[in-house]
Amino acid sequence: MQDALVYLDNPWVVMIINGLVAGWLAGLILGGGGLIRNLVVGILGALLGGFLVQMGIIALPPSITDVTSQVPFGTQILVSTIGALIVVLMARLIAR
């Protein structure tokens, strides 16, 4: 088990796992999906969500971050899922 936890020190591994979870959640909320699509949407969503938070466009209230910080990487997953939802909605608008 300790050997598996060593991989969580690598930020790329964390980003891929985070992207899979965020893409999967976006697929559950908006429909559609598949492993590769969830991964791509989740990673793009992580980048977009992180950018929006850094720029101050998205501000998570402390009442939410108090809850999500109880889960490992919970706030990152929430921000990535918000970004993934935006990516999916933008892709659907462009595809019309």
Q: Which stretches within the chain are classed as H helix?
A: 2-6, 11-30, 35-54, 62-68, 74-95
pLDDT surpasses 90 at 11: no
> Taking the CB of residue 49, how many other CB atoms lie within 10 A of it?
26
Q: How far is CA 59 from the centre of its chain?
A: 15
What pTM does this model have? 0.83
- Burial (CB < 10 A; 0-12, 13-18, 19+), residue 68, is middle
Question: Per residue in 63-91, pLDDT tens?
Answer: 888 888 888 888 888 999 999 999 999 99
Q: What is the residue range of 91's domain?
A: 2-95
In this structure, which amino acid lies at residue 11? P
Q: For the chain, how many structural domains are there in total?
A: 1
